[in-house]
Amino acid sequence: MNTRKIAKALKSLSGKVSEIGNLHPKLISIGGAGAARAEKQIPWICQTLDQAAAALESKRDPFGNPITPSQVVGGLKQLTVYVREPSYGTLMEMTYPGIDKPLQSCMKKLDKIIKMFD
């Protein structure tokens, strides 16, 4: 397992997710708690991918605790499950029309990155 290569792939994917957020602007008329939650999702996904990359490189979690590659993989798998939930897609589509399909494509890319750990 080449952790540097995997970390680089995670950082690249984070950039793609960020671009998706820019390509699918938020509906202006949407408001409320759901929209506020949806607005935080793209930055959260990017942060999660960036933190996973940093953890692989430093062997430390964001709090400075030791972390293993298998723990990083577990967190990335949880991310894919969360983003693939139908309710998640619905929330994101209501706030950012057209964003779910590109996000799901990014999760497929993340699956390939996860397989790099084998």
Amino acid (one-letter) located at 15: G
Give pLDDT tens digits for 99-117. 999 999 999 999 999 999 9
Give the mean pLDDT of the chain: 92
Residue 32 has pLDDT above 70, yes or no: no
Domain ranges for the chain: 3-115
Model pLDDT, residue 74: 97
Return the exposure string of 36-64: e unless at least 16 CB atoms fall within 10 Å of the residue's CB, then b.
Answer: eebeebbeebbebbbbbbbbbeeeebeee
Query: From CA 114, how far away is CA 98, in angstroms rounded?
Result: 26
Model pLDDT, residue 31: 61
